[in-house]
Structure 1
C-alpha cells in the first residue's frame, strides 16, 4: 500500500451513510513452548496506514523507549520503528527475515510498526465491529478497542494512540495539564458556570476517553462518557425520552457532545448524522475529536452538522472551544 491510496481511504472513512470502514489484517506468529507457532490476528484502520514496507535499515536512537527498534528514513522523514510484538508481550522469532513494517500516519505523527505479516484488507460495517467484552476490556490500560470476526478468526483492533503515547511520552496528550493552561480561566464564577453544564464524551479508547474526561472535569464540567457510537445513541435516546416526558429542552440534561470518529457499532460521523436528523438535537453543540481529522474529514464533519473539529493531539483547544459553544461568559 502506498500514499497514493490516501485519498480513497479518506473517502471511504467519511462515507457517513454507509457506517463502514476498511481494516488491514496483520499477524504476529507467537512462538509456543513446544516449538510450534500460533497466529495472532490484529487489525488497524486503513485510514491510519500510510504504507506497508519491507523492514528498513534502522539507526539506534539514544535513550530510546523500550521496544523502539531504532529510527529509519522514509521520504526525507525520520520515523521510529516499534517492535509491536515486544510491546504486546507476544514472543515471536527474533530475526526480521520476511517481516514487514506498517507505517502509520495519525495525530500528526508517523510511526513504523514491525509485524510478522500483512494479510488482506476487509471492508466491514461498524455494526459488525464489536466492543471488547468486559472480560477483555481492562479499563484505561487496555490496548484493544474493538474486535472483528472474519473467516473463523478473531481480529483484535489495537489502540495505536495508546501504543504511540507509551513509545513517545513527550508527544502524548497525557502531558497536557489544563490547570497550567493560561488560556483557560479558573475563577470561581467561570468554574461555577461549567459545573452547571453536562458534556457527553464518546470514544472507544478508554485511554483517550479518560484524558478528555479528566481535562473537562478538572475545568469544572460535569462529564458523562460512552464507549462507542452505539452506547452513545442509547444514552441520547434516554435523554430524548426524558426531554419529551418532562417537556424540557435537551440542554436541561445535556449541553454538548465530544465524539471520536472511528468506533465500534456506530462511527462518529454516522452518530452525528443521526443526531442532526433528530429535531431535538439540531442545536446540540457537537465537536468531532479524532486522530484522523484530515481536511476532507473536517469538511465532511462540518457538512454533516458538527460545530467544530479537533485533531487528537490538540487537547489544549478543548476547554476553550466548549466554553464558547455552551455560553460560558467571562
Structure 2
C-alpha cells in the first residue's frame, strides 16, 4: 500500500477543508489465556511514505529499547521500531505475518512494526475527538485523538512523542533557549517580550509543553489551546472582551502559533476562519507542523498564514516571533 498521492494530499489541504485521511492499523494483544484482543490505531496519511512487508533487518549495536534493527529502503537506512513493545502491548512474535508502516515527517524516516493495516478512512476533523473526553491527557500521553468507527475506537497516536522517547538525541527536548547564543535574553528584551501574549495551539501535550517552555523562558506570555476548535472559541472570547473594553484585540493576543493536524478543527481551517473575520485579519499566524512540506507551506500561506516552520526547527522559533512582534 502506498501513501496518499501528492495530488490527493493537495485536494485535502488546498482550501482549509478541515478533512484528513487516516490509515487504520491493528495490534493483536496476546492475553494470558492465549486468546487475542485486537486494538485499532491510526496515523495521518500525510505522515506515511508507504506500507511494506517486514524487511530484512540488521541488528544495531547497543540499541534503544524497542528498536528491532535497521533496514535499507531505496538507499535510506531506516530504524524499525516495535510499536507494540513501546505501547506495552505483548503481540505474537511471527514477524513474517506483520507489516511495517514507513513514516516520513520532521525530516526523518522511521519504520513501525504493526500486526496488520486495514484501510484508509477519509474523515472530517470534526469527527475526530480529543482524548481528554476519555482520559486525562498529560505530557506523557501518546494518544492525541480518537475516531469512532462502527463498533470500535481508533486511537490516533502521537508519533512525534514516540520517536523522541525512542531516540532522545533527535528530540526537540534537546533544545534549550537559554543556551542559544542567537537569542538575546536580558532585562530589556525580556521586558519587550512580556508585553506580548502568544496563543500556542497543538493537540500533543508533549509538543505544546516544549513550545510553551521555550517561549516563556525567552520572556513571552503564553496561553495554550489543545486543538483548533478550542483555539477558535478562545479567540472569539477575546474578540468580545476587546469590543467591550474598547481595546485592540492585539492587546489580548499578539500572535497565534498553530499545529496543522488537530482534532475537531485543523490548523489550516483555523487560519481560514480567522482571516475571514475582521478581528484577526492582521494577527501574525505561524504554522508549526511536522508535515510542513513545500506544498503544505504554500497552502498555509495562501490561506493567510504569515510563516511556517517544521517542528525540528524549534531553535528558530523565538527569533521568528521576535521578528514579527518586536
Contact 2:131 2:137 in 1 (8 A): no
CA distance in 1, matches of 2:252, 2:167: 38
Instruction: Tell me which residue corresponds to 2:202.
Output: 203
Describe the shift of the 1:305–1:154 C-alpha distance in structure 2 as closer, same or farther (beyond 3 A): same
TM-score w.r.t. structure 1 length?
0.97
Contact 1:12 1:21 in 2 (8 A): no
Alignment of 1:245-324 (within 5 A): 245-324=244-323
Report the alpha carbon displacement of residue 64 of structure 1 after superposing the two structures with TM.
1.3
Instruction: Tell me which residue corresponds to 1:86.
Output: 85
Report the alpha carbon displacement of residue 196 of structure 1 after superposing the two structures with TM.
1.3
Contact 1:6 1:47 in 2 (8 A): no
Query: Do residues 212 (structure 1) and 208 (structure 2) align?
Result: no
CA deviations on 1:94-143 (whole Å, 9 max, x unpaired) are 22121000000000000000000000000000000000035523411000
CA distance in 1, matches of 2:134, 2:265: 22
Mark the runs of 5 or more structure 2 residues left unpaired by the alignment. none
TM-score w.r.t. structure 2 length?
0.98
Residue aligned with 1:78, SS = strand
Instruction: Tell me which residue corresponds to 2:180.
Output: 181
CA distance in 1, matches of 2:115, 2:34: 17
Instruction: Tell me which residue corresponds to 2:2.
Output: 2
Instruction: Tell me which residue corresponds to 1:24.
Output: 23
Report the alpha carbon displacement of residue 246 of structure 1 after superposing the two structures with TM.
1.1
Report the alpha carbon displacement of residue 9 of structure 1 after superposing the two structures with TM.
4.6
RMSD (Å) for aligned C-alpha atoms: 1.1
| Greater mean alpha carbon deviation, residues 205-214 or residues 165-174 | 165-174
Instruction: Tell me which residue corresponds to 1:244.
Output: 243
CA distance in 2, matches of 1:213, 1:9: 34
Report the alpha carbon displacement of residue 92 of structure 1 after superposing the two structures with TM.
0.6
Residue aligned with 2:119, SS = strand
Mark the runs of 5 or more structure 1 residues left unpaired by the alignment. none
CA distance in 2, matches of 1:16, 1:88: 36
Residue aligned with 2:237, SS = helix
Alignment of 1:84-233 (within 5 A): 84-233=83-232
Contact 1:260 1:290 in 2 (8 A): yes
CA distance in 1, matches of 2:53, 2:242: 56
Instruction: Tell me which residue corresponds to 1:76.
Output: 75
Contact 2:70 2:78 in 1 (8 A): yes
Report the alpha carbon displacement of residue 167 of structure 1 after superposing the two structures with TM.
1.4
Report the alpha carbon displacement of residue 74 of structure 1 after superposing the two structures with TM.
0.1
CA distance in 1, matches of 2:42, 2:155: 6
Number of residues of Structure 1 aligned to a counterpart in Structure 2: 326
CA deviations on 1:78-103 (whole Å, 9 max, x unpaired) are 00000000000001102212100000
Instruction: Tell me which residue corresponds to 1:34.
Output: 33
CA deviations on 1:183-209 (whole Å, 9 max, x unpaired) are 101121011111111000000000000
CA distance in 1, matches of 2:98, 2:7: 26
Report the alpha carbon displacement of residue 177 of structure 1 after superposing the two structures with TM.
0.5
Contact 1:27 1:40 in 2 (8 A): yes
CA distance in 2, matches of 1:181, 1:145: 30
Contact 2:49 2:102 in 1 (8 A): yes
Residue aligned with 1:22, SS = strand
Residue aligned with 2:120, SS = strand
